[in-house]
């Protein structure tokens, strides 16, 4: 009788672990709040109408169609019973486990200011991306109908908070829409009227990259018309704007990319957590005092060789998932498990059309070549031939025509 | 100074009229409640996860990017002032016109039973299609987690109401999902458990087609596992099922395709309307007593050569739009306008994978060849090379793999 492996979360860590265990003697169950695996690095492109949800999301069932030992459950975990070795779901059912991998990911951290969440959505789920897309498209439509340029300025103002890769990618993308590719479709509003701000509390953007990449990123953003405001923590976000030290930026268009924290599910484990709510795990990713419960991905605090925590990036989550899948499959006893070691193959961020920054094993690239590489690598990691083909086709189209393919507001105009 | 043509509605009639007037001396304004033109004949494929919204919808602005005399306004018309020749919008603004084309389309008619609308959505907008898609995918996920086959049966039961092309296409599509293409992804539920009903009040389906096509359609549906119930008007629709004469079908999955009525906007015109709320128009599509206000598309009651009203089909709307655009462009006086004559090039309906029925100028086709033709013609009429390519690629994928590409539930699991 096979042992039960329960994987909570169908993101990079969870899917990678499940793939290693596919077609083995283990009964694998993946539990996720949505029915799909989301390729998060490209989520900002759904938010800026360059890709469809269907291009970057794959039903988890579809990934494991042929692997009969993998079951998928659409559900939300509400509790973990370490005594009886069961996971409790919101719908009242519970699932027994021999091995439990918790990879529930992260969410946006508003540093205690939960009221900001409504005015400044983050970008973690498809639902987020579609909400942001709607807001951006709607702001252009709204501005188009206002005759007085002063009155329409707020609708043509966009504030992205957070100078990490997500914030930089969003700001660059919005600059493309609002300053270039879509403006020919409008008759009243002009590209010069739009104002995009990238607001960062620290002294520089792209903090995880080494120079000269942050400098190049900054230059590219400025050339695209994004105003980068450094050393400016956000003080207040209201429905009609953002307050930073020295000015109030009037706009309904605020996007949050400034801080993440681990899923609150981690708090139910009763283990030590860091400032971001991530579980402090052992070298084999198990939780202290339990050799058969693991945390992986953005929700885990794992130290690298220098004693620093690994960042919440896709390749980190993927490697952790594979690592766990491997030793579970090999039936290694706790004492036999080697510690997890992350192999850093490089990081990259794109900054709008045909520009990116990349650091591959110390070789630093920027500009068009980096962007090509970024594109190819992201397509490679997409799950499923169909998705790869669609995204590739969509990008070719966009590059040639400057048009963004998916500019849809699905809800009807509400006055 | 150019004259103003206002077109209310960005559907087939509106877009066709605007295209004729593009790059002319007229100032054309298209007003629509959404920002996109929707290729409605393929909407059922979005509802059954075979196509993405972006594949069949095109931003109206994007269609007229180069035609500088065409302006697009996202808005809802609340009134038409014939005296001052102005159209009033919900946001308070008003637009002056010399020519007014009203093409607001149709909506579903619940024959006075408005409470049914919540339980049995129709299929007219992207929003409808996404709601239905979510319901179908969610029902499978829900059933998968219920151990007792009797308790899960309602979730695997689907009722489509209305035996016209829309109902037939939906029923056939659901049969594909629930009986074939997706079932391999599930571990507990089996294709044999699903039950699909097509309920029709009259004595036969596909009433607008001549024999032997309805007979062939019926046979195909039965072979696909759809149970067709004829002569059974719906008596009641509740949250948990449908009451027809003789039985109560327990299910949360009910889709309405049984009756349409014109947009309520038509009632504001103060002209005679038919049972379906359509405006009784003159032979040149103008309203009685006013030579410069027109109604076209599904909202117009236009008689054919036999005195019967033309059906609410895409080619009818397209031809009417072109007709109006032409004589407006030519500046023809009312007395010079020839009456509108519809040229029937044929009708078709698809019934699932690789089967369809078609009647082209009296030549009747069915089966695989009809389906190929249906596919090619629909792709031809899609607006935009990009959309044509995407839909073509999606269908090839689907045909080869039996997989449906867009099985996404975007909202998170709600317990």
* Phi, then psi, of B394 in degrees rounded to 5: -65, -40
User: Which tens digits make up the pLDDT trace of B244-295?
Assistant: 988 999 999 999 998 889 999 999 999 999 999 999 999 999 999 999 999 9
* Phi, then psi, of B238 in degrees rounded to 5: -120, 180
What value does the mean pLDDT take over residues A235-239? 94
Helix (H, G, I), strand (E, B) or coil at A40: helix
What whole-number distance in Å separates Cα of residue A192 and Cα of residue B163? 53
CB contact under 8 A, B126 and A408: yes
- Inter-helix orientation angle A12-21/A314-329, to 10°: 30
In the predicted model, is pLDDT for residue A412 greater than 70? Answer: no
In the predicted model, is pLDDT for residue A358 greater than 80? Answer: no
In the predicted model, is pLDDT for residue A414 greater than 60? Answer: no
User: Which tens digits make up the pLDDT trace of B213-249?
Assistant: 888 889 889 988 999 999 999 999 999 999 998 899 9
- Which of A83, A144, A169, A236 is catalytic? The answer is A169
β-pairing verdict for B157-161 and B253-256: parallel
In the predicted model, is pLDDT for residue A199 greater than 80? Answer: yes
What whole-number distance in Å separates Cα of residue A75 and Cα of residue A88? 10
What whole-number distance in Å separates Cα of residue A49 and Cα of residue A176? 11
pLDDT, position A409: 73
pLDDT, position B413: 46
What whole-number distance in Å separates Cα of residue A402 and Cα of residue A173? 12
Helix (H, G, I), strand (E, B) or coil at A340: coil
From chain B, pick out residues whose CB is under 8 angstroms from the CB of A397.
386
In the predicted model, is pLDDT for residue B401 greater than 70? Answer: no
pLDDT, position A23: 84
What value does the mean pLDDT take over residues B396-410? 68
Beta carbons within 10 angstroms of residue A125's beta carbon: 22
What whole-number distance in Å separates Cα of residue A42 and Cα of residue A123? 10
pLDDT, position A14: 97
pLDDT, position B414: 37
pLDDT, position B42: 87
In the predicted model, is pLDDT for residue A262 greater than 80? Answer: yes
Closest CA to A232 of A247, A220, A219: A247
pLDDT, position A415: 33
Q: Radius of gyration over alpha carbons of chain B, in Å?
A: 22
What whole-number distance in Å separates Cα of residue A109 and Cα of residue A107? 6
Inter-residue contact B37 to B132 (CB < 8 Å):
no
Closest CA to A161 of A194, A117, A193: A117
- The model carries a pTM of 0.81
- Greater confidence (A212 vs B385) lies with A212
pLDDT, position B102: 98
pLDDT, position A178: 80
CB contact under 8 A, A61 and B185: yes
Inter-residue contact A299 to A261 (CB < 8 Å):
no
From chain A, pick out residues whose CB is under 8 angstroms from the CB of B79.
none
What value does the mean pLDDT take over residues A317-322? 96
What value does the mean pLDDT take over residues B114-123? 92
Banded pLDDT at B5 (limits 50, 70, 90): very high
In the predicted model, is pLDDT for residue B337 greater than 50? Answer: yes
Pick from A138-142, A369-373, B181-185 the range whose average pLDDT is largest: A138-142
The H-or-E segment that residue B75 falls in is none
CB contact under 8 A, B403 and A185: no
User: Which tens digits make up the pLDDT trace of A395-410?
Assistant: 777 766 666 667 777 6
Whether residue B145 is preceded by a cis peptide bond, meaning omega within 30 degrees of 0, is no
The secondary structure of A366-400 as a DSSP string is EEHHHHHHHHHHHHHHSSSHHHHHHHHHHHHHHHH
**Segment among A70-79, A357-366, B223-232, B332-341 with least mean pLDDT:** A357-366
What whole-number distance in Å separates Cα of residue B26 and Cα of residue B101? 14
Whether residue A212 is preceded by a cis peptide bond, meaning omega within 30 degrees of 0, is yes
Say which of B65, B137, B185 has its CB closest to residue A184.
Answer: B65
The alpha-carbon gap from B11 to the nearest alpha carbon of chain A, in Å, equals 14
Beta carbons within 10 angstroms of residue B376's beta carbon: 11
Banded pLDDT at A287 (limits 50, 70, 90): very high
Q: For A394-400, which contacts have Cβ atoms below 8 Å and span 24 or more sequence positions? A: A394/A50, A394/A51, A394/A52, A394/A55, A397/B386, A398/A50, A398/A181, A398/A353, A399/A353, A399/A354
Residue percentage of chain B with pLDDT more than 70:
90
In the predicted model, is pLDDT for residue A95 greater than 50? Answer: yes
Q: What is the mean pLDDT of chain B?
A: 88
What value does the mean pLDDT take over residues A121-136? 91
Active site residue B413: no
pLDDT, position A404: 62
What whole-number distance in Å separates Cα of residue B117 and Cα of residue B122? 8
Say which of B91, B393, B415 has its CB closest to residue A90.
Answer: B415
Helices (H), A29-159: 43-47, 53-56, 60-63, 116-119, 126-144, 149-152
B204: left (phi over 0), alpha (psi -120 to 50) or beta: beta
Considering only alpha carbons, which residue of chain B is nearest residue A144? B73
The alpha-carbon gap from B195 to the nearest alpha carbon of chain A, in Å, equals 22
The secondary structure of A159-209 as a DSSP string is EEE--SHHHHHHHHHHHHIIIIITGGG-SS--GGG-EEEEE-SSSSS-TTS
What whole-number distance in Å separates Cα of residue A38 and Cα of residue B410? 10
Residue percentage of chain B with pLDDT more than 90:
58
CB contact under 8 A, B407 and A62: yes
- Which of B141, B144, B169, B227 is catalytic? The answer is B169
From chain A, pick out residues whose CB is under 8 angstroms from the CB of B71.
187
From chain B, pick out residues whose CB is under 8 angstroms from the CB of A408.
35-36, 53-54, 57, 59, 126
What whole-number distance in Å separates Cα of residue A274 and Cα of residue A154? 39
The alpha-carbon gap from B413 to the nearest alpha carbon of chain A, in Å, equals 5
Q: Give the DSSP letter of residue A219.
A: H
pLDDT, position B366: 72
Helices (H), A231-367: 314-329
With a CB cutoff of 8 Å and minimum separation 6, the contacts of B74 are: A138, A141, A142, A144, A145, A409, A413, B32, B33, B34, B35
Residue percentage of chain A with pLDDT more than 70:
90
What whole-number distance in Å separates Cα of residue B171 and Cα of residue B178? 10
CA distances from A266 to A80, A200, B213 (A): 10, 28, 60
Cα A393–A394–A399 angle (5° rounding)?
100
Considering only alpha carbons, which residue of chain A is nearest residue B91? A415
The H-or-E segment that residue B98 falls in is none
With a CB cutoff of 8 Å and minimum separation 6, the contacts of A390 are: A52, A54, A55, B390, B393
CB contact under 8 A, A54 and B187: no
What whole-number distance in Å separates Cα of residue B389 and Cα of residue A401? 15
Torsion sign (Cα): A113, A119, A122, A127: positive
The secondary structure of B123-186 as a DSSP string is -SSHHHHHHHHHHHHHHHHHHHT---HHHHGGGGEEEEE--SHHHHHHHHHHHHIIIIITGGG-
List, edge to edge, every strand of the sheet that includes B77-81: B77-81, B86-89, B94-96
CB contact under 8 A, B403 and A62: yes
From chain B, pick out residues whose CB is under 8 angstroms from the CB of A144.
73-74
Inter-residue contact B171 to B200 (CB < 8 Å):
no
Say which of B64, B66, B410 has its CB closest to residue A127.
Answer: B410
Beta carbons within 10 angstroms of residue A155's beta carbon: 23
Say which of A34, A61, A409 has its CB closest to residue B412.
Answer: A34
Specify burial of residue B160 (Cβ count, 10 A radius: 0-12, 13-18, 19+): buried
Beta carbons within 10 angstroms of residue A191's beta carbon: 16
CB contact under 8 A, B71 and A187: yes
Closest CA to A30 of A80, A108, A104, A112: A104
The alpha-carbon gap from B407 to the nearest alpha carbon of chain A, in Å, equals 6
pLDDT, position A372: 72
CB contact under 8 A, B410 and A52: no
Closest CA to A406 of A193, A134, A197: A134
Banded pLDDT at B396 (limits 50, 70, 90): confident
The alpha-carbon gap from A352 to the nearest alpha carbon of chain B, in Å, equals 21
What whole-number distance in Å separates Cα of residue A220 and Cα of residue A204? 14
Banded pLDDT at A411 (limits 50, 70, 90): low
CB neighbour burial string for A316-337, b if at least 16 within 10 angstroms, e if fewer: bbbbbbebbbebbbeeeeeeeb
Q: Give the DSSP letter of residue B307.
A: S
Chain B contact probe: residue of A408, A411, A414, A415 with most B CBs at under 10 A: A408
List, edge to edge, every strand of the sheet that includes B347-350: B347-350, B356-360, B363-367
* Phi, then psi, of A142 in degrees rounded to 5: -65, -45
What whole-number distance in Å separates Cα of residue B131 and Cα of residue B124? 11
From chain B, pick out residues whose CB is under 8 angstroms from the CB of A389.
393
CB contact under 8 A, B393 and A393: yes
In the predicted model, is pLDDT for residue B415 greater than 60? Answer: no
The alpha-carbon gap from B209 to the nearest alpha carbon of chain A, in Å, equals 33
Helix (H, G, I), strand (E, B) or coil at A31: strand
From chain A, pick out residues whose CB is under 8 angstroms from the CB of B415.
76, 90-91
CB contact under 8 A, B57 and A408: yes
CB contact under 8 A, B74 and A34: no
What whole-number distance in Å separates Cα of residue A123 and Cα of residue A107? 9
The H-or-E segment that residue B115 falls in is none
What whole-number distance in Å separates Cα of residue B365 and Cα of residue B361? 11
CB contact under 8 A, A408 and B33: no
The alpha-carbon gap from B138 to the nearest alpha carbon of chain A, in Å, equals 9
Inter-residue contact A344 to A389 (CB < 8 Å):
no
What value does the mean pLDDT take over residues B339-365? 72
Helices (H), B65-121: 116-119
Q: Give the DSSP letter of residue A3.
A: P
pLDDT, position A208: 75
**Segment among A336-340, A391-395, B254-258, B329-333 with least mean pLDDT:** A391-395
Interface ipTM > 0.95: no
Say which of A71, A93, A386 has its CB closest to residue B397.
Answer: A386
Inter-residue contact A284 to A292 (CB < 8 Å):
no
């Amino acid at each position: 009788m096979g042992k039960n492996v329960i994987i909570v979360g169908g993101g990079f860590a969870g899917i990678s672990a499940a793939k290693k265990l596919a077609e083995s003697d283990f009964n694998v169950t993946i539990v996720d709040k949505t029915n799909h695996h989301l390729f998060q690095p490209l989520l900002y492109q759904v938010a800026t109408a360059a890709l469809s949800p269907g291009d970057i999301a794959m039903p988890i069932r579809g990934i494991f169609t042929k692997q009969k030992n993998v079951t998928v459950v659409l559900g939300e975990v509400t509790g973990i019973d370490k005594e009886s070795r069961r996971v409790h779901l919101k719908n009242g059912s519970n699932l027994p486990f021999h091995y439990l991998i918790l990879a529930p990911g992260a969410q946006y951290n508003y540093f205690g200011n939960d009221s900001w969440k409504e005015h400044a959505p983050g970008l973690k789920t498809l639902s987020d991306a579609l909400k942001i897309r709607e807001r951006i498209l709607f702001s252009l439509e709204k501005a188009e109908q206002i005759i007085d340029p002063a009155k329409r300025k707020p609708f043509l103002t966009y504030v992205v908070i957070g100078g990490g890769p997500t914030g930089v990618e969003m700001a660059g993308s919005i600059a493309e829409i609002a300053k270039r590719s879509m403006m020919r479709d409008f008759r009243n509003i002009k590209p010069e009227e739009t104002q995009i701000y990238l607001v960062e509390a620290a002294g520089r953007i792209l903090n995880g990259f080494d120079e000269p990449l942050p400098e190049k990123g900054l230059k590219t953003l400025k050339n695209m018309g994004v105003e980068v405001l450094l050393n400016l923590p956000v003080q207040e976000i209201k429905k009609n704007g953002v307050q930073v030290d020295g000015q109030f930026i009037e706009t309904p268009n605020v996007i949050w990319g400034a801080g993440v924290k681990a899923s609150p599910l981690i708090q139910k484990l009763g283990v030590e957590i860091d400032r971001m709510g991530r579980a402090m795990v052992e070298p084999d990713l198990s939780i202290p005092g339990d050799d058969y419960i693991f945390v992986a991905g953005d929700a885990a605090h794992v130290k690298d060789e220098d004693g620093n925590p690994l960042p919440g990036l896709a390749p980190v989550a993927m490697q952790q998932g594979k690592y766990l899948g491997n030793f579970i499959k090999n039936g290694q006893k706790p004492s036999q498990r080697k510690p997890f070691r992350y192999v850093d193959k490089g990081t990259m961020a794109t900054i709008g059309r045909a520009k990116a920054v990349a650091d591959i094993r110390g070789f630093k690239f920027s500009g068009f070549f980096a962007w090509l590489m970024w594109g190819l690598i992201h397509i490679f990691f997409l799950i499923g031939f169909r998705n790869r083909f669609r995204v590739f086709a969509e990008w070719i189209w966009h590059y040639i025509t400057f048009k963004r393919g998916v500019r849809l507001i699905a809800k009807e105009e509400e006055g």
